[in-house]
Amino acid sequence: MVDIRVAIIEDHSLTRIGMRSSLNEQEGIQVVGDEATASNGLKLLQSTKPDIAIVDIGLPDRDGIWLVQQFRESLVSETAAQTKVMMLTSFAKEQMVLAAFAAGADSYCVKTIKFELLLEALHITHEGQSWIDPAIARIVLKHTRQGVAAAVKPNTTQTVTISAIDPEQASILQADPLTNRELEVLELIVQGYSNNEIAQKLYLSLGSVKVYVRGVLNKLCASDRTQAAVLALRAGLLN
């Protein structure tokens, strides 16, 4: 089996070393390098072109958003797209959560994530799907409701607009919009509720919830609940 090649850009030494050691112990994963700054991290990504880049948004010299943007702009789009980005952010800092989401990374994790979940997120991301921590989803959802359409980048006064869904997905949704009940189910999906919990909250049978969830996934052209949550937040479906 071909190893998943991972690069880590994280300024906290203990976190970086611990993550590197733990990942290297996993069968099928190879850490190709790690750096503590955005500038060195950019050179690492450009030279190794890993399958997965785990990037801390709060780096000492430049933020992780700058790093990801510079990396993708420095290569042809097809080559840059081969590297999936997992953005790490602090749950306690809402601006950073919003900035991480605005960066257009493939997956979003809080820095306090358990290693087992980090490993799950890494494999899901490598398969081409999105992974989003429920804590991050709740913060983005709250700000979406408040009409916040942009987040301030750390270490800069510029703003970043949250990316919308692509035109094809938008046209599909316009032709077959979500019903009110599907929107209710979608909101609870975004908040990390299971089918059983959704059934209890909306006073529905479990079978009905499964039908609504499947309808939501189909209309959003999402392969799973996590991808549906990301698309919903990016499209502003839960204003």
Determine the 3-state secondary structure of 238 from DSSP.
Answer: coil
Q: Looking at residues 33-55, what average pLDDT do you find?
A: 95
Q: How far is CA 1 from the centre of its chain?
A: 26
Between 160 and 54, whose confidence is greater? Answer: 54
72 pLDDT higher than 60: yes
- The rounded distance, in Å, linking the Cα atoms of 25 and 27 is 7
Confidence of residue 143 (pLDDT cuts 50, 70, 90): low
Phi, psi dihedrals of residue 222, rounded to the nearest 5° = -105, 140
Share of the chain above pLDDT 70, in %: 78
* β-strand partners of 84: 52
Q: What is the pLDDT of residue 193?
A: 84
Q: Who's near 113: CB < 8 A, 6+ residues apart?
A: 88, 121, 133
Determine the 3-state secondary structure of 165 from DSSP.
Answer: coil
Confidence of residue 103 (pLDDT cuts 50, 70, 90): low
Q: What is the pLDDT of residue 81?
A: 73
H helix runs in the chain, sequence order: 13-24, 38-48, 64-74, 77-80, 94-102, 115-126, 134-145, 167-175, 180-190, 195-202, 206-220, 225-235
- The rounded distance, in Å, linking the Cα atoms of 3 and 202 is 43
199 pLDDT higher than 80: yes
